[in-house]
Structures are given as structure tokens and as C-alpha cells.
Structure 1
Amino acid sequence: MRSFLLPFVLLSLGLAASSDPILSRWIVHERRSHIPSGWSLARRHDASAVVPLRFALAQSNVENIEEYLYDVSHPSSPNYGKHWSAAKVASTFAPSRDSVDAVRNWLIESGIESHRITLSASGGWLELETTVREAEDLLHTSYNVYGHETGVKHVACESYHLPEHLVPHVDFVTPTVHFDAKLSKRFDGGQPLKSVGQPSSGNGPKMVAQALDMTTLGQLATCDKYITPLCLRALYNFWYTPESKENTYGVVEYTPQSYLQSDLNMFAKQFGPDLVGVTPKTYDIDGGMYAGSSKNITFDNNGESDLDLQYAMNLVTAAQPVTLYQVGDLVEGASFNNFLDAIDGSYCKFMSGDDPSQDGIYPDPMTGGYKGPEACGTVKPTNVISTSYGYDEADLTPFYAARQCDEYAKLGMMGITIVYSSGDNGVAGNSGVCLNPDGTQSANGKIFNPAFPSTCPYVTSVGATQVVSGKTVVDPESACEKVIRSGGGFSNYFALPEYQKEAVTSYLKNYPPSYPSNIWNSTGRSRAYPDLSANGANYVVAVDGNFSLVYGTSAAAPVVGAMLAMVNDARLAKGKKTLGFINPLIYSADFAGGFHDITNGTNAGCGTPGFNTSRGWDPVTGLGTPNFPVLLELWKNMD
């Protein structure tokens, strides 16, 4: 099945305008519902101006991607654990010759000389330079120039058409509607997003206290006030010594976020002396940069990376090296696509995964930017990859989000587990913004605003819990309701995956939310998140030379990643395959005892209390928090 479902979901929320009437054989291929925040229409584009028109050719077999993924991930499949090679993935999904010929023949029939049409070296794009007038005739559209309040100019159209017979062969066309992914970001007074790593651009941790006096802190007795590695081990019975020499665990950071080795040493001295002086195995992708100068040494730049690495490294111990993927230079930064390009050559070669309006483009032409070639299949992916950054689903066009989501499915097919934090604002989006009926986002919006990539059905989304004040690690946790709210809800883009149907149907039947259907996707047919959760409150973290108190689902994600990495270690030590995509298994009846059910708390946002926790799965804490020894035994016994 194709992984996104705009028609019934967006229309049910009133977020999309009605389609253009079909003109002869032409149908609308993509449309934007609004001009992104901070932008205004400047003028019609000059008819004689030249634009580089690019047709992203549809991948072969993408309609079967879920079937392929389940074949190696579902516990009842005879092919469970028989992961694909990268070469098999690339060849299976490469655009077909039929797609190349169909688009090329149409262009020639439309009056484009054949010598002007170029097939990219990857085989994923057909490219040509046209005048604006020519492009408008080809796509039955009108090109405009838009101006941003910062002075940036951008060329785009409101919608475009393709002949009906081309629709199965073309994912999308650029330049057309694809500038809202980058430009609808509304942080810092509406400034355009330069990088997912910029402060306030994602699920970054929230600090509430600095310069903690570590001599006054207890250990297990004060876990309701201060979370340390020992607290997490006690909460989830997470005691494990690595055995395998083949296992890998990776954490992704996006410049300008970067760690300080002095902070890692400070944390290690207090909580894991064998890690003092230990550095992560680092891959610098597209000019990945570190704090360096004193002006970049701030909580906003170091808090996320320090948090992720300190807990990831401590929980897997010094016996398991942790890999750091540092993505993007200090000038341009990077997006998730830049990282995906680096770990899977088929993504950049066949998908040409970069959009100049959203992704970092390398070599970077800006002064001081990285001048080397863009990373493309140059870095080996680790068995588990944890990422604590995210967008709002509405920041991205459905085609952009679906295309990236399919890549996570391919990584799962190759035996890689992808973990994302679910967000820190409950049912609201980053910085607490919510959706308006016209699809825009604002602080006073009323419609729930889901997170991406958590809404992609091919990643494992992690929410946040907390130790209840006055309680201990042996008492049930609650959903995190202090400083942050666990991100969760229902997608507006992606269909309900098969593995989740029973859990979501049960929740909606037994604990139906009381909100009107026009403020959330109440259809019961969309991907719900998170999948599970872990503690995300009161983390003691060394940042910029001080111990700080930090909150966030960004803390929960690397903790879950560490536990999954240790399960992989145990499987590899027994000669078994890595976990790969875990969602079909964790939602199965066999794994019902693998989680501590969370039944207290909500995830407030958009002027509401949000959703309620419940018995079983819920859109606040998912299936609950890991019971590590149970999960370890279940997975060790899987072939």
C-alpha cells in the first residue's frame, strides 16, 4: 500500500481546499492550501525567465513496501529476520524504464526537443531547462515570485497538473509547491528554518535548573526529583553487560547541536568512571561541525547532544562503543534527508532525496560552508539509530513526508531499528503551535498538530513518562506532565498500519476522546503514536560545565535506543539477526508482558487536556515503558 492517505483524512479536518476541476486528461498532482507564514505574493514570474524543471520518477514496487517490510518483521512470517541487502533494496525500488519512457515521450510530444531532456545519473530524475512560459504550459499552472519578510525570494506555484496517464510515473515535480516544508517554520518570529538542529526547531530538551550540587543528591531515594542512570536501570530493570563485538548503536545530531567532551567527562566521572576520556565514534556528514568557539557553547547548542550521548554511552557501558552521526555544517545545517542520503546510497541516487527549500545542499556555496561533495552512501548505518529531533507533520508536504517515510521502511527491511522522540507539547506541535482550519499553524490554533517522523508507520516513536512526586522507582510512573507533555495523537497523512489496528481500535472503542471531530483525526483509520515511552523528566545532565536538570522526549528516545541496542547485542551473541523494524512484534500478543502499562496522566495542548492514558495502548505513552528483562528473553527466543 502507498504510505499516505490525504483524501479522507485532510478533508475530514477541513485542511485542504477542493481539487481543481479536471481539464481534459489533466488532473491536479499537488496543491498547497495556503501561503506559508512570513511569505507574501510579490508578482507573477517573468515568462522569459529560465527554470530548471525536474520530474521525480516514481519508484517501482513502492505499493508493496509494507508487504516487504512485514515479511521480514512480522513474528508469524517464515522470513522473520531475513533482512535484505542494500543492493536488493536499491534494485527493487529503482524507477522503471516504463516511467522514464512515459515522461520523456510526453515531453517530446509537448514540443520539448529530445536533446534538452536529461536522465540523471541515478536514473531517478528527468531534467530540463525551460522558460517559465514553457513550464506553465507543460504543467497547466502559473508561476509566481514570493517574498519573505527576511528578504528571501522564492519561485513556486499554487498547484500543478499532469496528464492522468503520467500520475503513476511521477512522484512530484520541482519547482512547484515544495517551499512550505522549510518556509512555514514559525519559530523566532517566523524566520525560515535553516536546519533541524537550530534551537527551537525540534524536540530539544528543556532545562529548568543549572549548577546542581551533586553532593546533595541521593540515588534511588530521590529519583522523583533527579533522574540518573541508576534510576533508569532500576525503573526498567535494565542491567546488562555487552557480549558481542559486532553490535552497533548510533545517535544522530544536527549542527549546530554538538557535544562537549569536557561535559561527557564530567558526567562520566560522576556516573560511570570507565567512560572518562571516551569519545563516541564520530562520522562527520556534510561538514558536520562541533561547538568550537565560545559563542557556540550554550545550552541551546550543547544540551541535546550532551544529553543524548551521556545517557546512551552510560547505559550501554564502555564495552559498547556509541556512534555519533554529526550532520551539516555551521552555515547551512542539514535535514533528515541529508542523513538518510549518507547512510543509504540508494536514497540519494534513486530518490535524489534533497529539496533545496528544506534540505542542506552540498557543496555549500556560502562563505565558510562545507565545500566537499554531498555524502551519499558513504556511512554505514548502525543497528539501532536514535534521533531526538522532529518536525510538525504540517511543516511538510504529503509527498515529501511519504517519500521519507518509505526510506525508513527500506532501512527496516535491511535490519535497522529507527527510534524517534514523539515531541514535547502534547497534542500541539513544536513550540506549542496548533493548526487552523486553513492548514496554517499558530499559537492560538485549535486543531491538534501531529509530529513527524513519529507519524510515519515505519519508525518507533517514543513518548515520555515521569516518576510521580513523592513516589519511588517501584511505583507506577505517569505520563510526563511537568515542564513537557508527551507528544501523541493521530496522523493527518498516514494510514493506520496493520500492526496497530487492534490496539487503536480498542482505545477508540473503550476510551473514546470527547473532542469534536473537526479538531483531531477521529476517523480511526490513521497512524497513531507514540508506540512506547520511557522517563523524560528531571534528567541530571552535564552541560557547559554545570549539572543541569533537563526534560524531554528527547531524553526518552536514546534510553529506549540503548535498551534495543543491548537486545541486539544478546541476539548477535547467540548468532541471531538484528531486530530491524520492531513495531509488529511489540504490538503482538506475545509481547503483552513486555511493558509497564501507564494509566495516569494526559498530554495537554491546543487549549485542551489532550488525550488520556488508559489500560493498554494510548496516544500519550503508547504501549507503556519497557520491562527490559522480559523483552530481552522474548527477543532472545525469537529465531
Structure 2
Amino acid sequence: MFWRSLSILAIVPLGLATPLAPRWEDVRVKHSWKTVPQNWECEGSAPEGTTIDLRIALKPHREEALVEALYEVSDPAHPKYGAHLSKAEVAALVAPHPDTHELVHSWLAHHGIPSSSVSTTHGGDWLTVSNVPVSQADALLGASYQVYRHAETDDTLLRTVGYSLPAALHDHVAVVAPTTYFGGPRALRKTLHPSPNAKLLPDGDALIRAEIAALEAIHGPGSAASVPSSCKSTVTPACLRALYNTTSYTPAATSKNVLGIAGYLEQYASHSDLTTFLNKFRSDAKSAAFTVTTVNGGLDDQSNPGDEANLDIQYAESISYPTPNIYYSTGGSPPFIADENTPTNTNEPYLDWLDFLFEQSTIPQTISTSYGDDEQSVPADYAQSVCSLFAKLGAQGVTVLFSSGDSGVGDGCTSNDGSNKSMFMPSFPATCPYVTSVGGTTGVNPEKAASLSSGGFSNYFARPSYQDSAVSSFLTSIGTEYSGLYNASGRGFPDIAAQAENFQVVISGSVTSVDGTSCASPTAAAVISLLNDYLLSQGKPTLGFLNPLLYSTGAAGLNDITSGSNPGCNTKGFTAVKGWDPVTGLGTPDFGKLQAIVG
């Protein structure tokens, strides 16, 4: 049902065995930008002695095997639904062609790279080549690594605007990184900003809780009418628990179930701020705590709490309590400053975090990430390779959620392929078909689309068959509107939505209010984590990759959002309608209904 390929970047199947003596000088361009990516300026060569760690993604021998297995275990109609794969089983599915390792190692040796510098990761389908001098990387890849500075943020990166590989390797190597991935203005763009007009509740939400209790006495828990109107201007955990019908559920599988939050950009989650937040907004959970796991030089600076990190952990914890929460603090973001102590520049946070995660014996069943880039700023081969790593997580039973973004149908709105074509601007990784993308809503009774909610259609990934019917219906409804500004055959996003405005957050001991789909992703993830808790408590497998469920039987467990739009690119954007739409997806979660569906 869901087994056809999702990628429009079709990879040429491996054919006959490569000759034993390849012509390494016969090179062909793997990827290049026509111009230096927007807002980046070349600062010149890297300092003497600079080295770089290269990651090489190897193409699988059986290209469709992972995707087919992913859909088998994720499609509620398939007999293998819920039979998630082990790490070893996934590794076998993505194993390269038998000739690949020997061929790639021969190429590296030809350029003087010792075998001791090469290690395998992700079960053998990725290689890491450590401490490669920049001059040697240039020769290896036909590249010209330079230091680039961002004109607005002053961030610096070591990158090349193009690279090549020997023709003999193109059927074996998917991508080499870091090369041409410049990323967004800060490499990973956080989707959060303060909400200036929200009412603050410095003394907690006792009044809101009292209102909810009174309304539930009249209408019953789980009723939309049990959410007070004050929640449309002041969002607290009590509002969300009432709105998404989780109030009456108490987690019972806390020895097994874990909720993970991925953090970047030196964003640190404060333990003391969480305690203050819970005392104000969920006093029965005031003893809750989270663990911090540092990745790739990430830090845990408790003196410097981040708004993004605090938002994520405070709402994930307050909705999922007492489920254990892990905050991953991943280093590797700009700026790049080479010196004797840190001569290596990689700055590939997604890959650093995923490398770490796949090496762990256990992985959280639900993971939320509130970061992303404009899709066009990410090289297509890089996007495809990272997206495949999320597919590996899904096949192992992990639910991965990403914020859809805060730019409506886009800002900037001009292609970077040299044509300067006007276009809507999709976000990555939200456009990856193997993650669940979360858009934003606002208000109560009824909820409507938040105007900031990014949504649209991918230019890199084809529309997956699990959403064929839903997306086709939407496209039929809008006819030729915005024709030419989006890819009508692309993967539609977001998949679902949650509240995204006026969230009360404690930062450095004080309450502030924030907006963004960064609010929506951890909220939705916490609800999904409760569903995973319920399944584990019943001795059942976790949900894993959600989308095939959501677009079939799971749709009945979502609150359809039918008003609001996501303006951008000098247009009014798309409009929320009955059924799926590229503003709020299929709608917002109702835990009680979803519990009945998955149970």
C-alpha cells in the first residue's frame, strides 16, 4: 500500500562490477552551487594546519529495501505492523554493494589517506575520515574549501561551493559532508520568537485550572467546551492537557518509555527554570527532572538558559510527566574559529546527533526537534541521505517529529538555482517523508491555523503514497491558485499541528511568552509519548513512524482545523480546509480518541 519510492532524486541502481583499476582522474561533479549561497561571503583560505572530518554516505545495494520494510511495520493494514526492526536488521537492509567498501578505501588510499583514519558508522553504510588536511580534502574531492562568513549573523563556516567524485564512485557514494551544505542563517534556524501581546501569568495558572475544572464538571473531560476562552491568549500546560484530552491519563510504563528532545545552537535547558515552571504551572509534577546528554562537544551551561531549550523541555515534561525526558545538547554549530586546540571544522549538527544516537543501545521512543532550514539551502543529496537516517529510526520503532517552521508559505521566496524564480519556500527536515511534521494553531473553541505555520510542498521529495488521497483532494480544491509557486507532486507538509502561540515559559526565573512551531512540536511529541506509554503498558509495540497511521485510521483521532491561513511570499498563503491542508495538516491530536484507535 505504501511501498513505492518517495524520492524524486532517483539514485541509479548499481550495475556491473566496477573495474578493478578505476581511473581516479576521471571525475564528475557531485554537487555544486551556481553562486555562493545567499548572504554568505568568502573570507579566503582556511588557516594553515586546518583539518576536516569527512563523512561519506554509501549507497545501499538494495535501494528500496529500507523503505519497504519501514512501511510494512508502519502501515496498520499490513500483517507486519508494529514488528519493528533491530539495529542489526536495519544495517543489513542498508548495506552497500559488496564492492563498495573496497572501492572507496582504494580511492582514499590513492590520495594518501591511511586506513587508520577511516572508521565505519551506522552499521557500515557511512564512513568517517578523520583529521583530513584541507589541502588533501581539496585534492580528494576536486574542491576548494574556503572560510565563508554570513553577512547578517557573522557566523563562519568552512565549505566549498562544489565538489566532484571519480565516475567510478557515483553509483557507490550518496554524499560527502561537509561540502556544500551552508545551512540557514545560523546553520539550524530555531522556529521560535517572543509573542509581544500575550497575557502573562507570573503567579501560575491556578485560575485557568479552576476554570477547566468547572467546565469539565459541566461538559465532561475531553470536551472542547471544557477549555476556557482565556487559553486563547495565555497557553499553559493545563490548557494543552485539556485541549488535547490528556488530563485523565497517568503514564504507567515509565520504566520503559522515554521522550527525547534534540537541541542545537548552544541552547541549554535549565533545571532550576523547569522547577520554577512546574511550581507555577503544574505543581503536582514539581519533582520532575530531565537528564542531559551532551553530543559532539555540546555543553550544559546552567548559567545560560535558552528560550528554545526551556520551551521544549518545560512543555514536553509538563504534558508527559512522569515520563523520563532526555535533552540532547549537540555541539558543532557556527562559528568556526580554527586554532591549535580546535583545528577541525565539521559543523554538521544533524549528522553529529544521528551518529551518536545510532551508537546507543536504546533510543527514546519519541523524539522532538524544533529546528530546520529552507529546503533549498540544503544540497539535495545531503537532504536525501539525512532523510534516510530518519527512516532508519522509524524502522526501529522511533517516532520523529519536527517543527514545520514559522514562515507561512515562505520568506525570501526566490530560487537559488540561478533562475531567481519566484517560489514558495518549503522547510527541511520537515519535508522529509519519514518524519512527522508539526504545524501551528492558535485559539480555542475553535482552534484555527496560526498564520506563522509553515507548510507547502517539497521540491526534493515526491509525494508519498500514504498521503496521495488527502493531498490530491486538497489540490483539486484549490485548482490553479498559486500554480508555478509550488511543486504539486511534492511531499506535502505539515502532517499534524498543535498550539503555537502565547506559550508561558520560564527563562532565568521569569515568565515570558513565546510563539512558534517550536511550541507545537514538543506539545505533539508529548501527546504521542503518552500513546507510546499506553501501548507499552499493554505489552504492545510502540507507534514508530506515524504517518501511515495518521493518514488512514488515525485521522479519526485528530481535530480537523478548518479556518486560518499561512501568508507569505506576498500572498495570503494556503487556507485551512476540511481534511488535510498545507497549514495544519490533518489537525491536532485528541489523546482519548487516538488511544482508542491504537489500543
Fold shared by both chains (TM-score > 0.5)? yes
The structure 1 residue matched to 2:413, chosen from 434, 437, 440, is: 434
| Local SS of the residue matching 2:521 | helix
Q: Is 2:435–2:545's contact at 8 Å kept on the other side of the alignment?
A: yes
Paired AA for residue 574 in structure 2: F
Q: Does 1:420 align with 2:380?
A: no
Deviation at 1:488, TM superposition (A): 0.5
Deviation at 1:160, TM superposition (A): 2.8
Work out the percentage of aligned pairs sharing the same amino acid. Answer: 36
The structure 2 residue matched to 1:498, chosen from 465, 480, 484, is: 465
Unaligned runs of 5+ in 2: 12-24, 212-227, 336-346
Identify the residue that residue 179 of structure 1 maps to in structure 2.
180
Structure 2: distance between partners of 1:130 and 1:545: 46
Identify the residue that residue 61 of structure 1 maps to in structure 2.
62
Paired AA for residue 310 in structure 1: Q
Structure 1: distance between partners of 2:177 and 2:324: 41
| Local SS of the residue matching 1:97 | coil
| Local SS of the residue matching 1:307 | helix
Identify the residue that residue 380 of structure 1 maps to in structure 2.
362
| Local SS of the residue matching 1:35 | coil
Relative to 1, partners in 2 of residues 1:262 and 1:172: Cα closer, same or farther, differing over 3 Å?
A: closer
Structure 2: distance between partners of 1:462 and 1:55: 30
Paired AA for residue 449 in structure 2: A
| Local SS of the residue matching 1:160 | strand
Structure 1: distance between partners of 2:7 and 2:417: 20
Paired AA for residue 305 in structure 1: A
Q: Does 1:237 align with 2:253?
A: no
The structure 2 residue matched to 1:520, chosen from 476, 486, 490, is: 486
Q: Does 1:614 align with 2:590?
A: no
The structure 2 residue matched to 1:202, chosen from 190, 206, 209, is: 190
Provide, for residues 480-508 of structure 1, a one-character-per-residue CA deviation record: whole Å limited to 9, x for no partner. Answer: 13xxx111010111111111111111111
Superposition TM-score, scaled by structure 2 size:
0.80
Structure 2: distance between partners of 1:440 and 1:144: 25
Corresponding residue pairs, total: 540
Paired AA for residue 119 in structure 2: A
Deviation at 1:152, TM superposition (A): 5.9
Q: Is 2:292–2:326's contact at 8 Å kept on the other side of the alignment?
A: yes
| Local SS of the residue matching 1:168 | coil
Q: Does 1:306 align with 2:310?
A: yes
Q: Is 1:203–1:421's contact at 8 Å kept on the other side of the alignment?
A: yes
Structure 1: distance between partners of 2:137 and 2:292: 47
Match runs of 1:258-277 below 5 Å: 258-277=268-287
Identify the residue that residue 395 of structure 1 maps to in structure 2.
377
Match runs of 1:45-194 below 5 Å: 56-103=57-104, 112=110, 120-122=118-120, 124-125=126-127, 143=144, 145=146, 148=149, 154=158, 156=160, 158-160=162-164, 162-163=166-167, 165-173=168-176, 178-182=179-183, 185-186=184-185, 193=186
Provide, for residues 237-286 of structure 1, a one-character-per-residue CA deviation record: whole Å limited to 9, x for no partner. Answer: 22311122322212222252122233222221222223224321332223
Q: Is 1:255–1:288's contact at 8 Å kept on the other side of the alignment?
A: no
Structure 2: distance between partners of 1:130 and 1:253: 30
Provide, for residues 44-87 of structure 1, a one-character-per-residue CA deviation record: whole Å limited to 9, x for no partner. Answer: 99xxx999988643233343221110011111211111111112
Q: Is 1:255–1:289's contact at 8 Å kept on the other side of the alignment?
A: no
Deviation at 1:28, TM superposition (A): 3.8
Q: Is 2:53–2:128's contact at 8 Å kept on the other side of the alignment?
A: no
Q: Is 1:57–1:126's contact at 8 Å kept on the other side of the alignment?
A: no
Pick which of 218-227 and 145-154 moved more.
145-154
Paired AA for residue 166 in structure 1: L
The structure 2 residue matched to 1:477, chosen from 447, 450, 472, is: 447
| Local SS of the residue matching 2:30 | strand
| Local SS of the residue matching 1:390 | strand
Q: Is 2:37–2:416's contact at 8 Å kept on the other side of the alignment?
A: no
Structure 1: distance between partners of 2:244 and 2:57: 46
Structure 2: distance between partners of 1:568 and 1:37: 42
Provide, for residues 125-177 of structure 1, a one-character-per-residue CA deviation record: whole Å limited to 9, x for no partner. Answer: 496979979976x86x57475654669685635353542x53221223467xx
Identify the residue that residue 331 of structure 2 maps to in structure 1.
328
Q: Is 1:264–1:310's contact at 8 Å kept on the other side of the alignment?
A: yes
Q: Is 1:36–1:180's contact at 8 Å kept on the other side of the alignment?
A: no
Identify the residue that residue 628 of structure 1 maps to in structure 2.
591
The structure 2 residue matched to 1:583, chosen from 547, 562, 572, is: 547
Structure 1: distance between partners of 2:112 and 2:288: 58
Identify the residue that residue 373 of structure 1 maps to in structure 2.
none
| Local SS of the residue matching 1:250 | strand
Superposition TM-score, scaled by structure 1 size:
0.76
Deviation at 1:410, TM superposition (A): 0.5
Relative to 1, partners in 2 of residues 1:132 and 1:330: Cα closer, same or farther, differing over 3 Å?
A: closer
Paired AA for residue 402 in structure 1: Q
Structure 2: distance between partners of 1:231 and 1:113: 60
The structure 2 residue matched to 1:464, chosen from 421, 440, 459, is: 440
Q: Is 2:387–2:429's contact at 8 Å kept on the other side of the alignment?
A: yes
Structure 2: distance between partners of 1:605 and 1:2: 31
Structure 2: distance between partners of 1:271 and 1:407: 37
Match runs of 1:298-377 below 5 Å: 301=306, 303-318=307-322, 320-328=323-331, 335-345=349-359, 377=360
Structure 2: distance between partners of 1:52 and 1:262: 37
Deviation at 1:449, TM superposition (A): 1.2
Relative to 1, partners in 2 of residues 1:465 and 1:155: Cα closer, same or farther, differing over 3 Å?
A: closer
Identify the residue that residue 560 of structure 1 maps to in structure 2.
524
Provide, for residues 205-233 of structure 1, a one-character-per-residue CA deviation record: whole Å limited to 9, x for no partner. Answer: 43325864547964424112111222222
Structure 1: distance between partners of 2:332 and 2:112: 39
Identify the residue that residue 293 of structure 2 maps to in structure 1.
283
Q: Does 1:535 align with 2:493?
A: no
| Local SS of the residue matching 2:99 | helix
| Local SS of the residue matching 1:181 | coil
